[in-house]
Amino acid sequence: MVKYDAQLDAIFTALAHPARRAMLARLGTGDATVGELAQPLDMSLPAVTKHLKMLERAKLISRSKNAQWRPCRLETAPLTVVSGWIDEQRKVWESRLDRLEGYLQRLDRKEKKKR
């Protein structure tokens, strides 16, 4: 649970910046080098590297260890973790709404019997 929490913390923190989301969107179309990621964002290489480190920490991207230009690759698993977390929350609130609806229907039937 603590590990799952730490994982969600890292993912949400990484996603909380438009430049990092733009990089992920770019990597969705294919692997890219740091230079290629920096170009449309009009950002210095050190600034891009800093953002990439946060994405790497959250395991949202991986970087090739061998190639000299170390291209970045999107890793989709953490986004699936986020979807899973939202689905869990949705189940809870939807079951509450279902219970509420059931209660209101029973109330309605009782009222109709009284008349």
The rounded distance, in Å, linking the Cα atoms of 24 and 52 is: 10
Distance CA 113, CA 100 (A): 20
Interface pick for a second copy out of 32, 37, 38, 74 (rule CB under 8 A): 74
**# of chain residues touching a second copy (CB under 8 A):** 28
Closest approach, Cβ 112 to a second copy, in A, equals 27
- Asked if 104 touches a second copy (CB under 8 A), the answer is no
Is residue 76 involved in binding a second copy (CB under 8 A)? yes
Instruction: Tell whether residue 17 is a contact of a second copy (CB under 8 A).
Output: yes
**What crossing angle do the helices spanning 34-41 and 18-28 adopt, rounded to 10°?**
120
Which residue bears the tokens 């059931």?
102
